[in-house]
Amino acid sequence: MAIQDVQRKFFPHIQVPPEWGIEPVPAKNRVLGFLDYLVLWGDLGIGLLVMLAGTFLAPGLGLSEAVAAIAIGSVLGCLLLALIGLIGSDNATPTMVLLRPVLGVRGSYLPTLLNVLQLIGWTIFEFIVMGVAADAISQSVFGVSNHIFWITVFALVVVLMGIGGPIGVVRQWLEKFAVWIALATGLWLTFHIVTTYNLAALLQKPGDGSLPFWIAVDLVIALPISWLPLVADYNRFARRSSTAFWGTFVGFLITNFWFLALGTLVLLGANVTQEPKQFATGVALSIGWVILLILLADETHNAWADLYSSAVSVQNIFPKVKQVWLIIGLGVLCYLVALVIDITQFENFLFLTGSFFIPVFGVLAADYFLLRRRKYKVDEFYRERGAFWFSNGVNVWGMAAWVVGIVVYHVTNPTTLGSFFPDYPAHIPSVLTAVGGSLPSFAAAFIAYAILGALAMRLSAGKEPVESHA
């Protein structure tokens, strides 16, 4: 019995997407609207790990400063997320394929490899945290402990969701059930925190100064930015680009701000630790096992998105491999790794991810919105030795602008490299770190490619396509 037959028999409401691979989504399959994207991205902003990220803002910042950093970082990060999603909606193609016009067909393989690695890492991390936290609940309530069983359960659910694809998951699961349960949980959690902790006292308590404000903003930006390499994988299914843009922006903005703030409040009020396992246990003791279990169930959607997009990204390099088998194979790989390793820190992982992907999308934004004015000839994305082949498949101008952005990031936010080279931050003048790394690196890559790309287009005498088929 084929995998599709099994799915249709036992999971009839999960819609297996047609196998068009990384080609543009056919018009008949571009069916998602504002509400769909509001639900999808709003739900992806809800989760235990989002709350955990909120704990990184304290005690370095006081509550009032942390809330300000969350507000600024959420607006800026979600704006970038929605803009890159807009490019995917315009052209109906996955994110990694959209990098071909600026890095070249082969040049896009480098960020693709980085993206697959980070997505596999995130999926493994999600499996571990969900499994360990669910096991803690089982041990407390039933006296039975078996984290391998729980990791297996969550991994199976995530793989099945990955096979279902975005349309089926959004419309048959998120919109009908999951998002309403998650929102009710969030409201109860908010009520519990507001009525349990002394907010006035927490607001008056200053931070210890260990985290600069704009570095905190960088950390907040890193959450929506971490979805940049995935956003077009989902927004390519949009009926209209404008509704997808606003659904993405508003949905992720609300829940990202909400759950980051909850995480900060829980750390300050309940005195939980930032180590993931201990944080989950502390949350459970503070707010109850049932609420934690619901949050864990919602966490499967984040793992699903990571797994699905890792398969789509692999297809940018190996387009003939069937998506369904990539999802199953990568899911099994993540499951097996989750059984044998222990990931306990991911703050530096967020910064490192941002250092690569913020500038590369600055390059893409400059090319698409400034130089080409939202016009791509999508057929050329897939043609070997076509307009986007450049020099042996690599656009050296785009690569150079990308490198400029990466360098600027690590100069203006030395925290990431400082984790590996402790003396490095001491060599960077403080004046250069005043606004963090995200905005300067994006701007530097944008400006660099606006100049280099314009020069390259002039030298090529207009040979590259400008007509859009989207």
Is residue 426 situated within a structural domain? no
State if pTM tops 0.95: no
Averaged over 3-19, what is the pLDDT?
Answer: 57
Range of the domain at 28: 3-384
219 with 10: CB under 8 angstroms? no
Per residue in 69-102, pLDDT (tens digit) is: 999 999 999 999 999 999 999 999 999 999 999 9
Averaged over 302-308, what is the pLDDT?
Answer: 93
- The pLDDT value given to residue 14: 52
Is residue 249 situated within a structural domain? yes
Is residue 398 situated within a structural domain? no
- The pLDDT value given to residue 346: 57
CATH code, domain with 255: 1.10.4160.10
- Pick from 4-8, 130-134, 335-339, 369-373: least confident: 4-8
- The pLDDT value given to residue 394: 96
Is residue 299 situated within a structural domain? yes
- The pLDDT value given to residue 125: 84
- The pLDDT value given to residue 463: 53
- The pLDDT value given to residue 469: 41
Full DSSP string of 344-365:
---HHHHHHHHHHHHHHHHHHH
Model confidence at 402: pLDDT above 90: yes
Full DSSP string of 375-421:
---GGGGG-TTSTT-TBTTB-HHHHHHHHHHHHHHHHH-THHHHHHS
Averaged over 231-258, what is the pLDDT?
Answer: 97
Per residue in 153-184, pLDDT (tens digit) is: 999 999 999 998 888 889 888 888 888 888 88
238 with 170: CB under 8 angstroms? no
Among residues of the chain, what percentage have pLDDT more than 70?
A: 87
Token readout for 87 is: 């490019």
Is residue 209 situated within a structural domain? yes
Is residue 400 situated within a structural domain? no
What is the Cα–Cα distance from 245 to 227, expressed in whole angstroms? 14
Number of domains, the chain: 1
Model confidence at 285: pLDDT above 80: no
Nearest to 166 by CA among 87, 67, 110, 235: 235
Per residue in 313-363, pLDDT (tens digit) is: 999 999 999 999 999 999 999 999 999 876 655 556 766 777 899 999 999
Averaged over 188-215, what is the pLDDT?
Answer: 85
Is residue 445 situated within a structural domain? no
Model confidence at 17: pLDDT above 80: no
Among residues of the chain, what percentage have pLDDT more than 90?
A: 52
Is residue 394 situated within a structural domain? no
